[in-house]
Amino acid sequence: MHTIGVDVGGTKMAAGVVDAAGRVVAHRSYRTPAATAEVVPELCRLVGAVRGRYDIGAVGVGAAGFVDEHGATVLFAKHIGWTGEPLRTSLEGLLGLPVVVENDANAAAWGEARHGAGRNERNLVCVTIGTGIGGGLILDGNLFRGSHGVAAELGHLCVVPDGRRCGCGAFGCWEMYGSGGALVREGRRRGVVAGADAPAGPAITRAARAGDPAALDLLAWLGDWVGRGLAGLAAVLDPPCFVLGGGVVAEAGELLLTPVRTSFRRHLTGVGHRPVARVVPAALGHDAGLIGAADLARVAQDRTTARSVPSASKDRRR
């Protein structure tokens, strides 16, 4: 049996048919509609486009927003325009398949834990460095979602009291200093990047790969802030491994990861007297979210099937 994973973002939605080993055997992506009312119908069309001849058991959806503790309702997704969207109920009615809904960063973390860089780790912290910072926690082999489903919003940990104002309304959030958006803002402040409309993040990375000292210094600055945040998370969670994903990490690679590791060790409490977590790049790339969502759907179906099968002891009593 295969499952379908869908990754729904503010600009693009991607779907893939995923087998039990985490391999994507069919893939399609569409632009996310600008009109909120068109998102669910387009999502169904996307699922239909990849479903094809495969025997599909369930669908998992990773959405960029807050998802309730039941994996059913998108409480808030700013870039999609959803508030209190009963996504699971809507999709199950339209697709005729069981559906699981999850936050996209949680789904990516689950994908990396099951089939990627964190495979075989029972405890794992996944941090996604993109325009902002997303996160997912795997604790004792389980996805940690919190009491209300909105745990692991790691980008909104306060790292600078009364610091820069974040889009969430708070001040000094980690993503204001350790994200791709922060890299671009700092580059413009230093005069390294000019023009509000330029694809500045990739330009900085290309310049750094070419050996430009100013661009390399910017990545070192970003790596320092990322490492500071990881050190704080390690003080609370003590994971054996941090998996770093997202576009910025994929583009910069070791040019970013090396200063991240240096900063992490420098700011880690008790360093020299405790094991130091590994910091590794994500392995699944842009497919991490849909692979994780598909696997979460598979796990949910396996549990449902197990509950519906009578135990051997009950069979003997009949």
Same domain, 70 and 129: no
Calculate mean pLDDT across residues 249-274.
95
Report pLDDT for 131: 86
**115 pLDDT band (50/70/90 cuts)?**
very high
Whether pLDDT at 64 is above 60:
yes
Based on the fold, state whether residues 65 and 162 are members of the same structural domain.
no
pLDDT over threshold 70, residue 310: no
DSSP, residue by residue, 149-203: S----GGGSBSSTT-SBPTTS-BSBGGGTSSHHHHHHHHHHTTSS--TTS-HHHH
The domain in which residue 141 lies consists of 120-282
Shared domain check, 238 and 124: yes
Of all residues in the chain, what percent carry a pLDDT higher than 70?
Answer: 95
CA dihedral over 223, 224, 229, 230, signed as positive or negative: positive
Query: Do the domain assignments include residue 255?
Result: yes
User: Is residue 88 located within the same domain as residue 155?
Assistant: no
What's the confidence (pLDDT) of residue 314? 46
- CATH number for 14: 3.30.420.40
Q: Is residue 316 domain-resident?
A: no
Q: How many CB atoms lie within 10 A of CB 41?
A: 12
Do 294 and 270 belong together in one domain? Answer: no
DSSP annotation of 225 reads: H
Q: What is the mean pLDDT of the chain?
A: 92
Q: 296 by DSSP, 3-state: which? A: helix
What is the β-pairing status of strands 142-144 and 133-139? antiparallel
Q: pTM (2 decimals)?
A: 0.89
pLDDT digits (tens, 9 = 90+) for 155-190: 999 999 999 999 889 999 999 999 999 999 999 898
The Cα 117–Cα 81 span in angstroms is 32
Same-domain check for residues 214 and 303? no
Q: Could you identify the residue written with the tokens 């070791």?
A: 254
**Is there a domain that residue 113 lies in?**
no
pLDDT interval class at 120 (50, 70, 90): confident
Q: What is the pLDDT of residue 309?
A: 61
Average pLDDT over residues 209-218: 95
The CA distance from 103 to 62, in Å, is 5
How many independent structural domains does the chain possess? 2
Spatial separation of the C-alpha atoms in residues 79 and 112, rounded to whole Å? 24
The span from the CA of 16 to the CA of 13, in Å, is 10
For 132-143, how does the pLDDT look when each residue is reduced to its tens digit (9 = 90+)? 899 999 999 999
Identify whether residues 160 and 209 lie together within a single domain.
Answer: yes
